[in-house]
A = this chain, B = another copy of it.
Amino acid sequence: MRATYMYAPGDVRVIDVPDPMITQPADALVRIVRSCICGSDLHPYHSITPSDHGVPMGHEALGIVEDIGADVTTVRKGDLVITPFAYSDGTCDYCRAGLQTSCHHGGFWGSEHVGGLQADAVRVPRADGTLVAIPAREDPALLASLLTLSDVYGTGHHAAVRARVGPTTSVTVIGDGAVGLLAVLSARRLGAERIILMGRHKQRTDLGREFGATDVVAERGEEGITAVRELTGGDGTHVVIEAVGHMPTYTQALGVVRPGGVISRVGVPQYDDAPVGFASLFGPNITLTGGPAPVRAYIDTLLPAVLDGTVDPGKVFDRRIGLDEVADGYRAMDNREALKVLIRP
């Protein structure tokens, strides 16, 4: 079958690999129906350590169950399933607490003998804990939105939930990528009435307004901070969702958060150390939260409004390609020609 591998910065290839097979009784074999490229895939696209063997790519997918191991009980051959960006056993303390990304027996796609999801098929470990069967057929109009439940919609929701967004919280979202825009949608659905979106790409921020942003600030850095402070009577917002992951956006978050407020990070940080001392977080009682979203925990909550069309998070996909064109897809997202690229193998 075909699978996507990354070998060096900017070097993404679709290669032929052996078909995946069930090796454990808890496995399922899933044929990928839709996959996509994530903003977080661009981090290795810039900085991966070159290698001859390459790294399997892709962590978001919808698929059809082709086969199951002897122990699998919650999905059946032929089911349409969401494949979250982490696999998990569904039974450990962390899974039961809704933190599947810390599962004692879980892991991430593309590591330790598990393939990536920008491919024709994949072996899914811990299928009962990982996969969610969708009570819908392959309705092309819905597939894009269902696909966002494997990562970006759940991640935007996680950012808002961790920050305890509600009707009385004002929110700034930093970043107009898919996660930032879906954080806007999530904050709105949790009741936020003031949502400031910081982003520079009009097409994207227009979608952000459609999702619920009340204000858009195109400036960055000090100018952006000043603009948000002017919009908020000098104080900043109760919540800042940081959906990028670079140090300048962390600094920007510090600049626009209100004393007593929360910075919720869902952009994978590309830094280790950052200011947390008296002048930054401590003095004004700022809370720093966030992390990889346990999207598996949120699917039950978010699915109904997707199925009945109340929300359409799939609008973040603005380009559709075949698996063979995946290198072009990375390039288009990296150049900001595309917001988010959907792959139909």
Listed in ascending order, the chain A residues whose CB lies under 8 Å from chain B are: 93-94, 97, 99, 101-102, 162, 235, 259-260, 265, 268-269, 271-292, 294
Contact = CB atoms under 8 A, between A and B. Distances in A.
Contact of A276 (B97, B276, B282): B276
Nearest to A264: B287
Nearest to A233: B93
B271 A282 contact: no
Nearest to A93: B235
Given A275-B273, A285-B99, A285-B102, A260 B292 contact: no
A276 B274 contact: yes
7 smallest A-B Cβ distances: which pairs? A285-B291, A102-B259, A272-B277, A287-B289, A99-B260, A288-B288, A273-B273
Contacts of A269: 276-278, 282
Contacts of A289: 285, 287-289
A256 B283 CA distance: 24
Contact of A284 (B282, B287, B291): B291
A282 B277 contact: no
Contacts of A287: 162, 287-289
Nearest to A234: B104
A292 B277 CA distance: 12
28 contacts: A94-B259, A97-B260, A99-B259, A99-B285, A102-B259, A162-B287, A265-B282, A269-B276, A269-B277, A269-B278, A269-B282, A271-B277, A272-B276, A273-B274, A273-B276, A273-B277, A274-B277, A276-B276, A281-B288, A283-B291, A283-B292, A285-B289, A285-B290, A285-B292, A285-B294, A287-B288, A288-B289, A289-B289
A161 B79 CA distance: 45
A141 to B, nearest CB: 34
A289 B289 CA distance: 8
A230 B341 CA distance: 46
Contacts of A278: 268-269
Nearest to A97: B260
Contacts of A288: 276, 281, 287-289
Contacts of A101: 285
A256 to B, nearest CB: 15
A259 B275 CA distance: 22
